[in-house]
Structure 1
């Protein structure tokens, strides 16, 4: 199974673009900060991840407030067929009151 759920804020976001088939896509960078427990030790975790929203959700995503925390759901895939880097494909998101 390839499903990822992540609480993050939108650090930066590009304008809506369209594929040759006319599908709207919005690319962005998400910023995650949280405290996780590993080997019984608290660890601060911070990272940015490349993300994109395609299709119907792209309109809502393009209007979402920058810097505000959301709970994103989606999956990971290669940036393109020949790439080793990953992109988080957002399939849904909701406002999150969590401060992490």
Structure 2
């Protein structure tokens, strides 16, 4: 199974665009910071990941303010150039009290 659920904040967002099939695309970057337990020891986790939303969710994601936190869910795949991974967001729930409708 390939499923990622991440509480993160939007730190960067590109201009909206469309696929050749006419679907909206939103490319953005997320930052996650937390403290977890690994092997019985506390561990601070901080990471950034490139993300993309395609279709109806792209329109919602394009309206997010930089710094807005949310629960993002989806799957991981290779970037088009084969260097690194990208998080394809298929579900989103706003955690900051925004007026953006929740799914």
TM-score by length of 2: 0.88
- Taking only aligned residues, the RMSD between alpha carbons, in angstroms, comes to 1.2
The 2-side partners of 1:69 and 1:37 are apart by: 23
Normalising by structure 1, report the TM-score: 0.90
Measure how far apart 1:41 and its partner are. Answer: 0.8
In structure 2, runs of 5+ residues without a counterpart are: 97-103
Q: How does 1:20-59 map to 2 (within 5 A)?
A: 20-59=20-59
Task: Count residues in correspondence.
Answer: 96
Name the structure, 1 or 2, with higher relative contact order (CA <8 Å, separation 6+).
1
Matched, 1:17 2:25: no
Q: Which residue of 2 aligns with 1:73?
A: 73
Distance in 2 between residues matched to 1:9 and 1:94, nearest whole Å: 12
Aligned to 2:84: 85
How far 1:15 moved relative to its partner? 1.2
Distance 1:16 1:84 in 2: 22
Mapped partners of 1:34, 1:16: distance in 2: 30
Task: Tell me how far apart the structure 1 counterparts of residues 65 and 78 of structure 2 sit (CA, whole Å).
Answer: 27
* Residue 75 (structure 1) shift: 0.3
How far apart are residue 65 of structure 1 and its match?
2.2
Shift of 1:69: 1.4
